[in-house]
Amino acid sequence: MEDYQDTFHESYRRIDIDQEFLGFFLEDFCASNPRFAERFSEVDKAKQSKMLKASIILIFNSADNPFIRNNVAMLGQNHKKLGLNIEQHELDEWTESLLRTVGKFDPYFDENVEQAWRKTLERGLNIMSDECVVD
């Protein structure tokens, strides 16, 4: 296992992706773009939390698992089928909101931890971009 993966997993163990984490993430994410708030306004908060947690876990697990990469591709395709019209900057905003949230909840968050998260998320985010981002 590469060093950044160890750093990522240590950080992941320090945070708890619970309601507080997900609530902060969703608030930050929606604040970064009014379209996000509109998209999530009709979705039940408990359902939002489950969807977000599942998405986060899928995306970071895709780094090591081809089966999960297929699931991420299906997630991206579903976003496209739903007509969400996701633009690349919006996917980037999702990533930055997630990293800000990790930074708030991981007491040892620093540049090294941030880079470990970025590298771990990279493959899954690239798949999402390929599958759901509109031109």
> Average model confidence (pLDDT) for the chain?
88
CB contact at 8 A, 53 and 87: no
The whole-model pTM stands at: 0.88
Residue pLDDT, tens place only, 44-66: 777 777 888 888 888 988 888 88
Residue 30 has pLDDT above 90, yes or no: no
Q: CB of 134 within 8 A of CB of 78?
A: no
> Cα torsion at 83, 99, 51, 27 (round to 10°)?
-80
